[in-house]
A = this chain, B = another copy of it.
Amino acid sequence: MPTVEFWYEFASTYSYLAAERVEGVARVMGVDVRWRPFLLGPIFAAQGWTSSPFNLYPAKGDNMWRDVERTAMRYHIAWARPSHLPRNGLLASRVALVGADDGWIANFSRAVFRANFVEDRDIGDVATIADIISRLGLPSSVLERANAPQNKSRLKAQTDAAIALGVYGAPSFTVDKELFWGHDRMEQAFQWATTPWM
């Protein structure tokens, strides 16, 4: 079955929207999806950005909040504007990589996104992540595995792999080397996986 790589960042509002819809789109299109968390921080820092572009450019930020609100309504996705953006997705991303091995990455990632963008919780706080792990019925040893040196290196390597594919924002979708940027390109990416140029 063809596969779309779904590149996401836990701090990203549009990554949340994509995470809520991606499995449904994949199912309808008959395409596999591979969840690939990465960090936007190093990518933004390399461009000289000290924060999210939505904070650096207020007009852009204002419209993003309104657009996400409109989009969530259109797709019936739960949404509450968080009191802080961007939140630190480092630990959550490390845990998600463990979940990629164990088969619970999608469930865990959606729970983290909802904590951030529905429940307004600080996903950068280890207590929040530990609570999500517990609520999913996972052992607390997951946190130790997440913080192991080789798992930390793995997240760095995954972010480097994203950069090598040309990723500069989140969410992004890749089909082999074909890159699609944005929640609004998700369906097109899945269509590309079966029928390019359509």
Residues of A at the B interface (CB closer than 8 Å) are 47, 57, 59-60, 62-63, 66-67, 70, 73-74, 163, 166-169, 178-182, 184-185, 188, 197-198
| Copies of chain A in the complex | 2
Within the complex, what minimum Cβ distance (angstroms) separates A17 from chain B? 14
Within the complex, what minimum Cβ distance (angstroms) separates A60 from chain B? 5
Q: With the chains together, A138 CA to B168 CA distance in Å?
A: 45
A180 touches B67 (CB 8 A): yes
A166 touches B63 (CB 8 A): yes
Partner of A198, one of B57, B74, B198: B74
Partner of A63, one of B63, B179, B184: B179
Q: A47-B57, A63-B181, A184-B184 are in contact. Are A70 and B197 (CB under 8 A)?
A: yes
Within the complex, what minimum Cβ distance (angstroms) separates A52 from chain B? 15
| Chain B positions within 8 Å of A67 at CB level | 180-181, 185
